[in-house]
């Protein structure tokens, strides 16, 4: 299926989504936020359409969006019809609160005519009521109710020959969400949009989302993802990408390998690692950079990195794929990493990076240090030894 020009499911990559939190009726603010979200890595953006004012803004927003848009519809199917008229690329319908099959059919008919896809968005917080239970009968488990709610609406769409379907089964409770998605994945052939709903503030919510989404992606389940944080939606996107990068599913921007520091550390590594991350983020190319606090484990732990620094007291060794290519003084750590990073980027992407633009000119003017070839064994002997003698 497609949302606008973005393919979802089949052999398409896992797609990153988020949702605006502007008042959709304020078309200008919404368009500006969508543009920022697109720059931060959103490939599809959902907008809330809670009332007629919001629905009326859809044409203007659609006309200026850089990414395909999904209208989020609850309760009132007429808002879906207006959004379709307004040129929206996809719909999210909640089967928990649009329970009249005829109204769903009306929306499906209009979506079919316009080639618009529909996400059946089940949420544990808005499930249909439980049918009357017989004496002694236990209510079904939450994941069972979620799957049933999704299947109810899938049935209506399938009856109408509509198959541009995507499904989500979001819950705050990770085991519930994982169980629901696993079951649905075994029962229908449609793409799945993964998310842990209301996951929380950025710290705990990031972990909760990564566990739930990551577990499923690792099993090959999931076609689009959204991390739902109580934060600016721009903050959700690096988390989505880090989940995908952690599983080697997709790459975007740099990957920073940084040692946690320990009693062997002889440099102020944490701010250095942050600076390296920010600098390579602003360059924006997929490259793996290791920032390690010593040469005991540094070369080994950074072997898979494209470039790395094993920092000792006052000096450090610069690595490429675990091989020392030069040693530099502490004041040149950043510029040396930039220079080596620029070489990797040129070789890999054919793109020339003006390193001086990222390091206040230091990188371009840094002296070319003599190359000191150290084997890992020599390195582990030599640099800490030097550092110890200096100390």
Total residues at interface with ligand SF4 (CB under 6 A)? 12
Which residue, 83 or 259, has its beta carbon nearer to ligand SF4? 259
Helix (H/G/I), strand (E/B), else coil: 44 = strand
CA distance 21 to 103: 27
What CA–CA distances, in Å, run from 303 to 223, 264, 265, 294? Answer: 31, 20, 19, 14
Q: Which range touches ligand SF4 (CB under 6 A), out of 27-35, 230-238, 258-266, 319-327?
A: 258-266
Q: Which range touches ligand SF4 (CB under 6 A), out of 104-112, 254-262, 281-289, 345-353?
A: 254-262
End-to-end CA distance of the chain, in Å?
63
* Interaction between residue 265 and ligand SF4 (CB under 6 A): yes
Which residue, 214 or 316, has its beta carbon nearer to ligand SF4? 316
| Rounded least distance, CB 258 to ligand SF4, Å | 9
Query: Are the beta carbons of 269 and 261 closer than 8 angstroms?
Result: yes
Q: Which range touches ligand SF4 (CB under 6 A), out of 193-201, 240-248, 259-267, 276-284?
A: 259-267
Query: Are the beta carbons of 346 and 352 closer than 8 angstroms?
Result: yes
Cα–Cα–Cα angle for 25, 90, 77, nearest 5°?
A: 65
Residue found by looking up tokens 């799945």 in the block: 192
Residues 275-304 that bind ligand SF4 (CB under 6 A): 292-294, 296-298
- Interstrand relation of 315-320 and 323-329 (parallel, antiparallel or unpaired): antiparallel
| Rounded least distance, CB 292 to ligand SF4, Å | 4
3-state DSSP: the chain helix, strand, coil percent, rounded to 5? 45, 20, 35
Helices assigned H by DSSP within 86-141: 101-114
Which residue, 31 or 267, has its beta carbon nearer to ligand SF4? 267
| Rounded least distance, CB 275 to ligand SF4, Å | 17
| Rounded least distance, CB 270 to ligand SF4, Å | 11
| Rounded least distance, CB 318 to ligand SF4, Å | 15
List the one residue from 262, 371, 373, 388 that touches ligand SF4 (CB under 6 A). Answer: 262
Q: Record the tokens describing residue 324, joined without a space.
A: 């020392």
List the one residue from 149, 171, 259, 272 that touches ligand SF4 (CB under 6 A). Answer: 259
Rule CB under 6 A: which residues touch ligand SF4? 259-262, 264-265, 292-294, 296-298
């Amino acid at each position: 299926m497609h949302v606008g020009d973005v393919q979802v499911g089949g052999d398409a990559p896992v797609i990153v989504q988020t949702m605006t939190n502007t008042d959709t009726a304020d078309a200008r603010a919404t368009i500006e936020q969508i543009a920022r979200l697109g720059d931060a890595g959103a490939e599809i953006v959902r907008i809330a359409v809670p009332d007629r004012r919001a629905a009326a803004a859809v044409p203007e927003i659609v006309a200026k969006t850089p990414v395909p848009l999904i209208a989020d519809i609850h309760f009132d199917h007429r808002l879906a019809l207006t959004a379709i008229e307004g040129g929206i690329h996809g719909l999210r319908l909640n089967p928990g609160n649009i329970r009249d099959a005829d109204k769903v059919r009306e929306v499906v008919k209009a979506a079919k005519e316009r080639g618009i896809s529909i996400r059946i968005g089940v949420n544990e917080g808005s499930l249909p009521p439980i049918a009357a239970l017989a004496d002694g009968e236990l209510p079904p488990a939450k994941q069972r109710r979620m799957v049933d709610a999704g299947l109810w609406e899938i049935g209506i769409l399938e009856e109408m020959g509509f198959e541009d379907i995507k499904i989500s089964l979001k819950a705050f409770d990770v085991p519930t969400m994982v169980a629901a998605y696993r079951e649905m994945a075994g029962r229908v052939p449609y793409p799945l949009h993964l998310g842990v709903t209301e996951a929380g503030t950025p710290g705990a919510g990031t972990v909760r989302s990564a566990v739930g989404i990551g577990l499923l992606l690792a099993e090959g389940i999931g076609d689009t993802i959204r991390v739902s944080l109580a934060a600016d939606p721009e903050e959700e996107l690096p988390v989505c990408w880090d989940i995908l990068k952690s599983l080697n599913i997709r790459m975007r921007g740099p990957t920073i390998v940084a040692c946690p520091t320990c009693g062997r550390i002889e440099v102020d590594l944490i701010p250095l690692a942050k600076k390296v991350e920010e600098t390579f983020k602003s360059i924006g190319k997929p490259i793996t950079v290791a920032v390690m606090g010593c040469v005991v484990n540094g070369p080994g732990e950074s072997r898979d990195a494209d470039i790395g620094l094993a920092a000792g007291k006052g000096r450090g060794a610069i690595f490429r794929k675990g091989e020392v290519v030069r040693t530099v003084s502490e004041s040149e750590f950043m510029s040396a990493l930039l220079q080596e990073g620029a070489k990797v980027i040129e070789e890999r992407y054919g793109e020339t990076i003006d390193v001086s633009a990222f390091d206040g000119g230091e990188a371009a003017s840094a002296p070319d240090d003599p190359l000191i070839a150290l084997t890992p064994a020599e390195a582990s002997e030599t640099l800490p030894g030097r550092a110890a003698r200096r100390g």
